[in-house]
Structure 1
Amino acid sequence: MIHTFHLAELPPAVTARALLRGSSGATTPGLDHAECLALMRLGAPTISTDRLQLRRIAVFAQWRDEDAVDRFLSDDVLGRHLATGWHVRLEYLRRWSRLAALPGLPARAGGWDQDEPVVAVTVARMRLPEVPRFLRWGKPVERQVRDHPGTTLALAAFRPPHTISTFSVWRTVREMEAMVHGGSGRPAARRHADAMVENRRRGFHHEFATFRFRPLSEHGVWEGRTGIVPLG
């Protein structure tokens, strides 16, 4: 099993088709599940072109093996478009909560070193009446992650009507965990921890899961950048 996270700029018709239909194991050999979403800029105003970037797509996927990823990128219509962008291949390590779409993932699949790079992915199905609360508590967290010196890339993505995802690349596990737990002692550092307390008080989501991965390899270019993942 391997996971991937893809970023690409696509023609609007290709993006719309991907958001409506996505990809599945029924049509893509070796694919367990994929989430196709339109990019957002973390911390952007709620109503803005930065908040929902329909020409820029993110795809988070679980595959049976790397051969399936390679076949998808070379043979599938959407895959060939994604191959013009950037992606990272990931080794699954841990989850908090679970998604019905990914039922077989154990709570923990391996260990890690505090000083190694790490990738975090969240996927949530929003309760639509809770969106105003979620934005009030979540946007400060978005800015906290976006501006954190420990991240090399942080973004969010959305698929109507209610799926939202975040993706972040961290220089070290230590820096990511310090952010999550608000370990710096500064009031702003408590944003993520405080939002989690509020979510436990009254949930923002129908379902929500956070996944931790070890980055294995990086491919392509995103916004003129390579070496986004600090692989050494």
Structure 2
Amino acid sequence: MTIFTFHLAELRPATTARALWKPPSTPGLRYAECLALMRLGAPTVSPDRMQLRRMAMFARWEDEAAVETFLAEHPLGREMGAGWHVRMEFLRRWSKLAALPDLPARAGEWDPAEPVVAVTLARMRLLEVPRFLKWGKPVERLVRDHPGTTLALAAMRPPRTISTFSIWRSIQQMEEMVHGHTAVPDPDRHAAAMVERRRRDFHHEFATFRFRPLSEHGSWQSRTEIIPR
């Protein structure tokens, strides 16, 4: 079964920089995106906007055996194995990435009460970055502070790739956030940003993916059991 993973690890800056320049290649790995972490809602000019000591990797694999081999045998995999990762089953996508052209719009059924992992990936139009920051940073804070998330972060790979990753207690809570139906301050921040994106796109390409978490491994900043049970 094709499986997706999202990894978080604290690495040497030089290791992160190499992975951003050239993602790993290993048997069974069909796609990998390596990114430096950002703190959601951080000031635009800030060390927190690109943290080379903290790396994320979003990946697609032939099967779980390929994941295990990477973590045990690949030099980067052994370092990533000291961090945390979640293994995931693909459920749904909005829009499409050239790097993942064969994913259907929807795969299978789900329960609105089950936990979910959301991943977005975008290739920015560089001249639209000021507009994106204006509309995107309020959404970052909305997701970061939302009572429905157990973990929310963003990451980037210069010059134009950005990503967000969030774990939600339930699909219902995530969808309520998307549509502005949550009892939090300024609940329509996400909906307003999507209207602005449709008016004039910030990105060359943009996709949102929804996954069912299957298992989590390791710890992140001393946290375990980040996936809701």
Shift of 1:184: 3.2
Shift of 1:115: 0.6
* Correspondences of 1:71-220 after superposition (within 5 Å): 71-184=69-182, 188-220=186-218
Q: Is the 8 A contact 2:16 2:55 kept in 1?
A: yes
Shift of 1:12: 1.4
Give the RMSD, CA atoms, in angstroms.
Answer: 0.9
What letter matches 2:51 in structure 1? Q
Q: Which residue of 1 aligns with 2:49?
A: 51
Report how many residues are paired.
228
What letter matches 1:30 in structure 2? G
Match of 1:226 among 214, 224, 227: 224
Partner SS, residue 48 of structure 2: coil
Partner SS, residue 188 of structure 1: coil
d(CA) in 1 for partners of 2:168, 2:47:
26
- Alignment deviations for residues 13-70 of structure 1 (CA, whole Å, 9 cap, x no partner): 11111011112xxx31101100000000000001111111111000000111000000
Shift of 1:209: 0.3
d(CA) in 2 for partners of 1:117, 1:124:
24
Q: Which runs of 5+ in 1 are unaligned?
A: none
d(CA) in 2 for partners of 1:166, 1:59:
11
Q: Percent of counterpart pairs with the same letter?
A: 72
Shift of 1:187: 6.4
TM-score by length of 1: 0.97
d(CA) in 1 for partners of 2:193, 2:183:
16
d(CA) in 2 for partners of 1:206, 1:185:
33
Structure 1 position 2 matched with structure 2 position 32: no
Shift of 1:186: 6.2
Q: Which residue of 2 aligns with 1:13?
A: 14
- Alignment deviations for residues 123-150 of structure 1 (CA, whole Å, 9 cap, x no partner): 0000000000000000000000000000
d(CA) in 2 for partners of 1:86, 1:135:
29
Q: Which residue of 2 aligns with 1:34?
A: 32
Q: Which runs of 5+ in 2 are unaligned?
A: none
